[in-house]
Structures are given as C-alpha cells and as structure tokens.
Amino acid sequence: MTDITNQSLNEIIENVKTKKVSSTELTKAYIKNIESAKKLNVFVTTTFDQALDKAKQFDKKPNFDQLLPGIPLAVKDLFCTENTKTTAGSNILNNFIPSYESTVTKNLWDNGSFLLGKLNCDEFAMGSSNETSHYGNVINPVGDQLVPGGSSGGSSSALAADLTPATIGTDTGGSIRQPASFTGTVGLKPTYGLCSRWGIVAFASSLDQAGPMTKTIKDCAIMLESMSGFDEKDSTSINKKKEQYSKNLKDNIKGLKIGIPKEYRVDNMPKEIDELWEKGKKILKNLGAQLIDISLPHTKYALPTYYIVAPAEASSNLARYDGVRYGYRSKQGKDLIEMYEKTRSEGFGDEVKRRILIGTYVLSSGYYDAYYLKAQKVRQLIKKDFDDSFKKIDAILTPSTPSSAFKIGEKTNDPVSMYLNDIFTVPVNLAGLPALSLPAGVDKQSYPLGLQLIGKALDEQKILNIGYAFEKNCGFKNEIKKWWS
Amino acid sequence: MSLDKEKIKHVAKLARISVDDAKVESLTKDLNSIFKFIEQLNELNTDKVEPLTSILNQSLRSRKDEISDGKIREKILKNSPKENEEFFVVPKVVE
C-alpha cells in the first residue's frame, strides 16, 4: 500500500477501522520515519517499545468505536506523562519523571491513542523559534536552515515531516499558531478553559491553553473533541457539555460576517502577507461570507501588555524550581540560598532567566502599579475591543504571522525582534478567545504562510467550519521534500 | 526609566538566580530594550479602566477541604535530587 504516514489523521483512522492497516503496522511506519529523521532534532524522548506494546494490545482486542482507535501520537514535552521523562525543554527538568498524567494526554489515551514520544520545544514554552530549548534547535522540514517556529516547534516539525499523524501543543502567545503557520499545518488555540491545564508545565497560567496541531481541519476537530472537556482539577476549566466538533463540521458559511481589522496591517509587513490576506478575503467572499471592516484600536499595545503579564506569571510559576523536591540541583553553593541561586542559574537558559527577571521586577515593590496593574488595565481594553467587534461579526480574519519561517540564528541577538513574531497571535491569548491558523499559501521562496481565524469565546465549531470551507477552496498543498532521510 | 547593573543584580537576588558579572552587561542591554518596548503602554490613559483579573465570566471554583489522596511519600520523593527515604535533604540551614 502507499505510504500511510503522509495521509491525514482522518484517513488513517478510516484505514485502521476498515482493517487496511493494523495499529502495529502504523506504529512501525512512524518509528521508521522517526529513526530516519534524527537531523530534524524533533524528539527529546521516544517511547517506541511502550508504543508497540500498546499497538499489539489494540490489534488483539480492537475497539473501533473510539475517536482515535490504535493511533500513535507524539506530544509536546510540556505535557506531563506518567513514568515518561518530561523536560519542558529545560535543563532544570532533565531528569524529571512525572508520577501522574496530564488531563489532556489522559483524554487522548482514553480515546484509543498512545504515546510515541515527547517533542522538543522552547524552554518552558518561552520562544518563537525553538532555539531556546536546552536540547538543541529543531529544524523545520521546509528547509534545513529554517526554524520551525515556537514554542511548539518540535510538534509542528514532527507533523509536517510525517513523524506523527497529529499532535498537541500549548499556546501562551502564539506557540501553536505561529509554528503551524511556519510549517504549512493547521493549529488551534482553543478558548481559555476549554482544555484542562492540569499536568501541563505552567508558563503563564492566565494565558496558557493546550490545543491540536494537525494536517487538516477535520483532523483538528477530531483532536479537539478528544482532548477537551471539563476537569475538576483545573480551577479555570469551563464546565459545559462536550461538543462533537468533527461530526458537526459543515462547509456552508453563507451569510457569515467576517471582520477585517485594519490594525493588523503593520509597518514593514512583506507584500506577500498582504496578498495572502487579500486571497483569504476573496475565498471567503466567494463562499458567500460578508466581509466587514472593523477596528481593534488597542492591538499595538497587546505585545507590550503580554511582556508584562506573561513574565510576571512565569516568575511566580517558575519559583518552584529550587533544586529541592525534583529536577536539577547544582553541586555548588555552600548554603541553602546559594544552592537555590546556583541551581536556577545553571538550570535555566538565558531567555527563561530574562523573563523571570522581567517578571520579578514588574511585580516588585514600588513598580507593581506602574507595570503589572497598568498591563491588567490595558488587557481589559484589548478584551473590550474584541467584545465590541463580536457584537456585529461572527469571526475575524487576519494573517497568522508577519513573515514566513526565518533562518536559525537570525533573531537570537535581539529579543524584541523575536517577540514581534507574535504580534498577530498575542491579542487572542490576552482576550481568552479561540483562534485557528490555516495554511493558505507560500511566499516567493516557497515557504508556507498561514491565515488566522479568531472566534468568539467557545465558538470553536464556527471557526472550524469556516476553516473547513476555506481549506476546500484554497488549493494549498504542503509539498515537503524529505531531504533529511 | 532605565535599569542599571546594580538594579539588575538586586532583581536577580530577589529571583534567586546568580548572575555572573560578565553576563550583567548583556542582560542590562537586553532588559533595557525590552522595557523601552513595554513602556509604550504609558501612551494610554487608563485612569478609569478596571484591571482585568480573570478572563472567564466565572469565579474560581472551590472544593471541599478533604484529603483526596495520600500515602504516596515514595512517589513524591522519587524525583528528589537528594533524600533520605523520608525527607528531602537540603544544605544545612541552622548551625
């Protein structure tokens, strides 16, 4: 049969259900791909033996009524997996083996899938290029000098290189959508509270949200359905009925009102991004949607707000890494305080330290009002911009990123230029809204580019439907040559 | 405002991260450029704006204060860099 690993998750599930392929054959095919893709540096840990055991168990007693029957999945190394090392891309967790399973991964396994391995990511999900990982850069399968985006860069690369049929990432300021855009794949950041944060290594708790990364919209709906749901263990989890996103997927978007925010046309934006946006508008218009010009006046303040709120929360969340109860401990330090200071200095990388210092400073006595309180107020204004707009529209269309994938090392010396990558994705996290990045075209170097659909809170079905209709009419095909194997 | 080296050393102390003198220079430069970016917020008048403290239109749930697990000392100590089977071990604190 043809190479099963370049099919969509939905096609693979159909093939498993109709017994054209067994779970064991499927798992072996992915293991083979992974073993020949070491150059991409995508995996921190692989769990092949365990995966093959699970596949054999499935084949012996298959249950085809599950959402993910016998499907092997690799996940971002930010999700705690019971008895499998979880590093968060950091040296400080280089030996951490959780004794519990994150709710989101448990939901995936309960739907019939099993773990194939843990995917590289920026350290504590702080980065936009996967260059802050302690375990080295991930390479984008699109080109051997290109970053895969970040922080879920291992996830996006693994997916685009056919090393997993689908995957999950986390998105605090764009960490699912930006890497999806850089690799020509689909990425969804759900509404804050839709997927449980329990068992995910915390970065910024009021912004963090797990979501699917897939090859198609249908796959995205299947994954979201599998991973989401109320969880008592997350105090911000939303208690609502489970949706059947994949079953309810519709491609009729006639009459829907799509907002086009003028503030997303930024200075020095490459012409290609603008052209892509125009192409997207045209497709939606031809499908019967109505385009409406809107204004989100505080958009330019979203990134500065984010760089107060996220580091502040991170400095508090990362205070737990002290070398006492788990993780790395420095051998230096003559007393307890010095042991803490050396452990954290040797355990954290430069970007993480920078953010902890920013966060500590903005929360410190005398500066709290000027920075943190100010940011919370501006966050209110950003949220209000969206609330006002959504009174008259169904969804918002914007570019996902201001550029295509850039070269490794290109932005590492200038933190602010790196941060600017997330200019279109960050506002959504601050407002807690769902947003989808869709592959929509390529630039003149043939690097993929994405468009973003932003929805109202808990309106995932609608943006998935728009994405579904868009996908059928966009004509984008991700053509990646397997140069690495 | 600008951050000087002394201020950065002080913040690093608060954050319990030791910083080499050699690194303070580049850290000062990076943090100042980040703060310059952040301080764009000062263009906005927010005197009459309520700070956003929760993104959800619901208050945090509380649960009954009941023990839901226990007797997992081994599990908890399993990942510790140093322990003596019953306790986490740290450098001597009291003389």
The residue in chain B having the minimum alpha-carbon distance to the alpha carbon of residue A420 is: B37
Q: Which of B6, B38, B68, B82 to mutate to test the interface with A (most CBs of A within 10 A)?
A: B38
- Give the number of other Cβ atoms within 10 Å of residue A226's Cβ: 26
Cα–Cα separations (whole angstroms), residue B33 to A201, A311, A332, A417, B17? 28, 15, 32, 10, 21
CB A283 within 8 A of CB A291: no
The domain ranges of chain B are: 5-43
- For the record, the structure tokens of A361 come out as 């400073």
Identified catalytic residue from A23, A113, A129, A151: A151
Phi, psi of A314 (to 5 degrees): -65, -40
CB spacing of B91 vs A377 below 8 angstroms: no
Phi then psi for A455, rounded to 5 degrees? -115, 175
Q: How far apart are CA A213 and CA B21, in angstroms?
A: 42
Q: In this complex, is the C-beta atom of A212 within 8 Å of any C-beta atom belonging to chain B?
A: no
Strand-pairing partners, residue A45, are A118
Is A92 within 8 Å of A343 (Cβ atoms)? yes
Tell me the residues of chain B between 17 and 36 that have a Cβ less than 8 Å away from chain A. Answer: 17-19, 27, 30-31, 33-35
Number of H helices, E strands in chain B: 3, 0
Tokens for A195? 């997927």
Q: Which residues of A touch B81 (CB under 8 A)?
A: 323-324, 326-329
A389 catalytic per annotation: no
Tell me the CATH number at A256: 3.90.1300.10
Question: 3-state DSSP call for residue A15?
Answer: helix
Which helix (H) or strand (E) segment holds residue A399: the answer is strand A395-399
CA torsion A125→A130→A136→A137, rounded to 10°?
170
Q: If you compute the radius of gyration of chain B from its CA atoms, what whole number of angstroms results?
A: 23
Q: Do B55 and A415 touch (CB under 8 A)?
A: no
* d(C-alpha A81, C-alpha A355), whole Å: 26
Q: Which of B15, B60, B91 sits opposite A236 (nearest CB)?
A: B60
User: For residue A329, what are its two tokens?
Assistant: 């401990």
Using DSSP, state whether A228 is helix, strand or coil. coil
d(CA A24, CA A450) in angstroms, rounded, equals 34
Measuring CA to CA, which residue among A225, A212, A296 is closest to residue A259? A296
A-contacting residues in B 74-93 (Cβ below 8 Å):
75-76, 78-82, 88, 90-93
Cβ within 8 Å, pair B56-A192:
yes
> A139 and A179 in contact (C-beta within 8 Å)?
no
Tokens of A320: 């737990």
Q: Range of A211's domain?
A: 1-485
On the CB side of A185, CA atoms within 13 Å amount to 41
Task: Indicate the number of domains in chain A.
Answer: 1
User: Are the beta carbons of A462 and A436 closer than 8 angstroms?
Assistant: no
Report whether A341 contacts B18 (CB < 8 A).
yes
Q: Confirm whether A151 is a catalytic residue.
A: yes
Per-residue pLDDT of chain A (485 residues; tens, 9 = 90+): 579 999 999 999 999 999 999 999 999 999 999 999 999 999 999 999 999 999 999 999 999 999 999 999 999 999 999 999 999 999 999 999 999 999 999 999 999 999 999 999 999 999 999 999 999 999 999 999 999 999 999 999 999 999 999 999 999 999 999 999 999 999 999 999 999 999 999 999 999 999 999 999 999 999 999 999 999 999 999 999 999 999 999 999 999 999 999 999 988 888 999 999 999 999 999 999 999 999 999 999 999 999 999 999 999 999 999 999 999 999 988 899 999 999 999 999 999 999 999 999 999 999 999 999 999 999 999 999 999 999 999 999 999 999 999 999 999 888 888 898 899 999 999 999 999 999 999 999 999 999 999 999 999 999 999 999 999 999 999 989 999 98
Rounded-to-integer distance, Cα A114 and Cα A22, Å: 14
